[in-house]
Structure 1
Amino acid sequence: MNQPNRRYIRILAMLACLLILLFTPLTGGLEGGKAAAEGSTLIMGTSPDYPPYEDVDAKGSGEIIGLDIDIAKAITEKLGYELEIRSMDFNGLIAALQTERVDFVMSGMSVTEERKQSVDFSDNYYQARNTIVSSADKPFKSMEELQGKRVGVQLGSTQEQAVEGLDATITRLNKIPDLIQELKSGRIDAAIVEDAVAAEYAGSNSGLALEYLPAGGDGYAIAFPKGSELTQAFNEQLAEMKASGELDAIIDKWFVDDDKTRSEAFLDFGILKGYVPYMLEGVYVTLLFTIVSALFGFIWGFILTLFKISKVTPLRWFATAYTSVFRGTPLLLQLTLIYFATPQLTGYDISALMSAGLAFGLNSAAYLSETIRGGILAVDRGQREAAMALGIPYKTTMIRIIMPQALRTILPALVNECVALLKESSLVSVIGVQDIMRRANIIQASEYRAFEALIFAGVIYYVLVLILTSLAKMLERRLRRSD
């Protein structure tokens, strides 16, 4: 039994080293919004799923492009700053400003009195109109006709506020493509969308009808943290760009007629041409995140297990309370708290990928600690008693005698946890991590079609899970042969 035990020790040592190597790149290279503002870089927050204002050039450079991006680049260049762009969900942009993760936000954001309570706004740079998007078979011509109907809006958008007084069933979703899909599937009767975006979707879907509503509000503007010194500087540059015609030239560049022929077929995987390399790049991010989370979760879960079986009462209490908290609260809540709260509590600007690895690792450890504890308790108690009688130290007993046998018992449960981590990794897209799911959503927004990119993403996940389970079976057979 001595040779297999040495193998286990080497495996654990290699896993620990791999965890350190993988985790190291996640901890550096990103500075906070406040820190960046003090140097030569400004960080802009945006939700790149709203063409033509912001989108990802998935077929080309992979960079975020659009009307808002060009305006931001022009202003920051005039002010002598470098521009860094951070991607995140639209409903997290205000929180990013308040926690100083970004210096300013441009994301087709309308000025409202409610938002003015939380952030400062620049002068407006574009005036958009709300548009009713409905089925061509049953179009709606006014807001009054939507009374008593099912209406969809983007969460956190000005359209959400536009329907506050409407006597209707309101559906709030994070992304415009999801709203259009809800409309096409018949779950809602109409959606309220900004005019340029609505026109793009109508051009791609002949079954949609548009009704432009009267312009109102203060238009789109740049958002800053309360009291930011950048507000006045940006306003001065916006005024100069309006006077010189530069702003109009940027707007005309992005608001041109799209003569691209779009397929009306229910499924047309031809639209994925050119996007495949972009999607496959997300595999690396997903696997990196999954490996880091799994290793961290296993190591920390093993430590928690030792706490739970320890004779030291405070350690048992801590491990029990920890497991209760992390199993009793949603993983998405833990992820967003770590991402947004860490800069405020510690002053450290934790990266999105590191936040995801930490949140999933901490959560996974709570479940794995119970799995590992069950495996240890399943080992015959007589072996521990025999080790004690022979004078073998407790640490040596656990590493060389108990854990190798426990691992054989819990291996299927460990594989299930890894599979769950791989699939649940899609949650990290809400904080802007460019994983497989996030990239599929970006393709949705670019092509105005819902299913093709999602099906392709599902195939990638399924293949990854098959590979993982095959490797686990090979390991299980090898462990059996070593008995």
Structure 2
Amino acid sequence: MNKSAIVRILALTLIVFILLGVFGPTDRSGANTLTSNAVTSLCQDGKTLVMGTSPDYPPYENVDAKHGGEIVGLDIDIAKAITSKLGCKLEISAMDFNGLIAALQTGRVDFVMSGMSVTPERKENVDFSDSYYSARNTIVSKKKKPFTTLQELENGRIGVQLGSTQETAIAGLNNAKVTKLNTISALIQELKSNRIDAAIVEDAVAIGYIESNADLAFTMIPSGDEDEGYAIAFPKGSALVAPFNTELAALDSSGEKQKMIDKWFNQQTGTQTGNHSNLDFSVLNGYVGYLVRGIFVTLLFTLVSALFGFVWGSILTLFKISSIRPLQLFATVYTSVFRGTPLLLQLFIIYFATPQLFDYDIPALLAAGLAFGLNSAAYLSETIRGGIMAVDRGQREAAMALGIPYRTMMRSIIMPQAVKNILPALVNECVALLKESSLVSVIGVGDLMRRASVVQAGTFRAFEALLFVGAIYYCLVLILTTLARLLERRLRRSD
């Protein structure tokens, strides 16, 4: 490989990254979010405060999938009221609950409201506002085998939400086997599947699940003196704490906060989908359109990741078969690292580390596309290399004898035959990307699985949404494999 070819390859790599970058905002310093520590200039320049939340916890926050997909709830109304009084704009960033503290610490969000209780452990990492609501924990269990006290759960199987204060509530139980999951809907499914004996859930959330699942019951747990209620979380040393506390006190004294509480808690009671103990797809009425719109996000993500993975994988392949030792070493190390570490870990590193290392607020979809594309390239580089090696060596020798340039030979003679040889493997990689795209839901990308989680939270039932989304995934894979077979037949006829 000559030097000009190497320069063109590196230039192409740079262009790919630049093209991917146009889908996100520019630089975090110009993202119009809060960066100043001066309280007096909080929002004078039209700054936007970014609020992190996990919208799967009604009535505090959930996605109104039936009416445009807006995030609504008690926490949202309080946040809107405070930021409006401060003269700030509000942007809501959705993600998993166990990623909220990390988002604060990495500067992805300015504050967090997500039914988050104040605990000594959290105080060590973030600052909290004054409490705006105090809830009570409940024991949710099967109606035919109810539990009335925590002591009855000793030596039992208990479920709690990962990163929640419910973990602390059961810390003193002897020999209890604790299951920690990301969402309440997943805990309820574990309970209905008899994998746990009970789930510890906050009272307002428990009411919704009980009204929608006739086979479940709940019992209140007495509040401890150490319970400090729900509060707003901020990065350490944030200038927002004082003004937010001032506005919270004003909302409380004016009675406006109580009106919000009454609005959402009255709405929570008596407005659920009914008492369904068996599979009932009628609960999806009004949600189908919201779920189907996730197909576009899933396909866009898969297409971008597959194309980027193929282009970057082809470049890595050329590095591996190059006679230049540094390029060979780089490609080998790259492949080893990306094949030797979990894809989810790579996704988290790109999403959370990029703002800290490069001061760039990378969008969730772009972070997911990069993570999946970079990971896919590591696998495809070996697949493409195998396809190139499978091409008859005599064709290369003949091309060289005819004086055909190396670049022309690879582009017009070797690569087309290599791609034809590895077409089934490429299709398998696309199918894997399509299915593995469900991982992006953990950072808030609105793909099919994320939307299924939203519907689970809104209907207080999990199985129907999962089955519906599973059928969509299956149809997408069938369409993809059918198109691949048609392409393969056409390529064979052209031989």
TM-score range, shorter-chain basis?
A: over 0.9
CA distance in 2, matches of 1:221, 1:232: 13
Q: Cα 1:255–1:429, aligned 2, differ >3 Å: closer, same or farther? A: same
Amino acid at match of 1:245: G
Q: Deviations over 1:216-268 (max 9, x none)?
A: 31000000000000000000000011111111111000011324451414111
The equivalent of 2:430 in structure 1 is: 418
Structure 1, unaligned stretches of length 5 or more?
Answer: 1-14
Q: Which deviates more from structure 2 when the two are superposed, residues 232-241 or residues 266-275?
A: 266-275
Going from structure 1 to structure 2, the CA distance change for 1:423 and 1:475 (only over 3 Å counts) comes to same
Matching of residue 390 in structure 1 with residue 402 in structure 2: yes
1:183-332 equivalences in 2 (<5 Å): 183-216=191-224, 217-256=227-266, 257-332=269-344
Q: Where does residue 43 of structure 2 map in the other structure?
A: none
Q: Distance in 2 between matches of 1:174 and 1:133?
A: 17
C-alpha distance after superposition, 1:242-301 (max 9, x if no partner) = 111111111000011324451414111111111111111111111110010000000000
Matched residues in 2 for 1:144 and 1:368: separation? 54
Aligned-partner Cα distance in 2 for 1:33–1:432: 22
Query: Does residue 67 in structure 1 map to residue 64 in structure 2?
Result: no
Question: Is the CA contact 1:294–1:418 (under 8 Å) kept in the aligned structure 2?
Answer: yes
Give the match for residue 23 of structure 2. Answer: 26
TM-score scaled by length of structure 1: 0.94
SS in 2 for 1:59: helix
Report the Cα distance in structure 1 between the residues aligned to 2:27 and 2:53, rounded to whole angstroms: 17
Cα pair 2:214 2:277 within 8 Å, conserved:
no
Identify the range of structure 1 (20-29 vs 98-107) with the bigger mean alpha-carbon deviation. Answer: 20-29
Partner Cα distance (2:295, 2:50) in 1: 26
CA distance in structure 2 between the partners assigned to 1:188 and 1:406 by the alignment: 52
Residue equivalent to 1:177: 185
The count of aligned residue pairs is 468
Deviation sequence 1:417-445 (CA, Å, 0-9, x none): 00000000000000000000000011011
Out of 438, 443, 448, the residue aligned to residue 436 of structure 1 is 448
Query: Which structure 1 residue ranges, 4+ long, deviate > 3 Å from structure 2?
Result: 18-25, 29-35
Structure 2 counterpart of 1:80 = 87
Specify the alignment match of 2:97 in structure 1: 90
Name the structure 1 match of 2:53. 46
* Gap runs ≥5 in structure 2: 1-11, 36-45
Larger deviation, residues 386-395 vs 423-432: 386-395
Local SS of the residue matching 1:153:
strand
Tell me how far apart the structure 2 counterparts of residues 268 and 342 of structure 1 sit (CA, whole Å). Answer: 43
| Change in CA separation of 1:158 and 1:101 when aligned onto 2, cut-off 3 Å | same
Alignment pair present for 1:118 and 2:125: yes
Distance 2:30 2:74 in 1: 22
Aligned letter for 1:247? K
Rounded Cα–Cα distance in structure 2 between residues aligned with 1:22 and 1:98: 29
> Which amino acid is the alignment partner of residue 154 of structure 1?
Q
Inter-partner Cα distance in structure 2 for 1:463 and 1:25: 31
Q: Which residue of 2 aligns with 1:355?
A: 367
Amino acid at match of 1:192: I
Q: How far is 1:166 from its partner?
A: 1.8
1:142 paired to 2:149: yes
Aligned to 2:135: 128
Report SS of the residue matched to 2:158.
strand
Distance 1:160 1:32, change over 3 A: farther
The structure-2 alpha-carbon separation of the partners of 1:56 and 1:340, relative to structure 1 and needing over 3 Å to count, comes to same
Q: Residues 70, 447 of structure 1: CA spacing in aligned structure 2 closer, same or farther, 3 A cutoff? A: same
- Residues 33 and 103 of structure 1 are in contact (CA less than 8 Å); yes or no, is this contact kept in structure 2? no
Instruction: State percent identity of aligned pairs.
Output: 69
Q: Is the 8 A contact 2:21 2:366 kept in 1?
A: no
SS in 2 for 1:27: coil
Give the CA deviation at 1:203: 1.3
Deviation of the 1:25 alpha carbon: 5.2
- Listed one character per residue, the Cα deviations across residues 340-379 of structure 1 (whole Å, up to 9, x for unaligned) are 0000011001000000000000000000000000000000
Structure 1 residue 151: Cα displacement:
0.4
- 1:36 match: 33
Q: What SS class does the counterpart of residue 417 from structure 1 fall into?
A: helix
Q: Taking structure 1 as reference, are residues 30 and 74 closer, same or farther at Cα in structure 2, changes over 3 Å only?
A: farther
Q: TM-score, normalised by structure 2?
A: 0.92
* Superposed displacement of residue 23, structure 1: 3.6
- Closer, same or farther: CA 260–315 of 1 in aligned 2, 3 Å: closer
User: What is the distance in 2 between the residues matched to 1:145 and 1:263?
Assistant: 27
Residues 398 and 195 from structure 1, CA distance in 2 versus in 1: closer, same or farther, beyond 3 angstroms? same
In the other structure, the counterpart of 2:4 is none
After superposition, the CA RMSD in angstroms is 1.8
Q: In structure 2, how many angstroms separate the alpha carbons of the residues matched to 1:161 and 1:205?
A: 27
Per mean C-alpha deviation after superposition, the further-off stretch among 444-453 and 471-480 is: 471-480
Residue in 2 that maps onto 1:375 = 387
The residue number in structure 1 matching 2:471 is 459
Q: Contact conserved, 2:26 with 2:360, CA < 8 A, in 1?
A: no
Deviation at 1:32, TM superposition (A): 7.0
Aligned mates of 1:108, 1:53 — CA distance in 2: 6
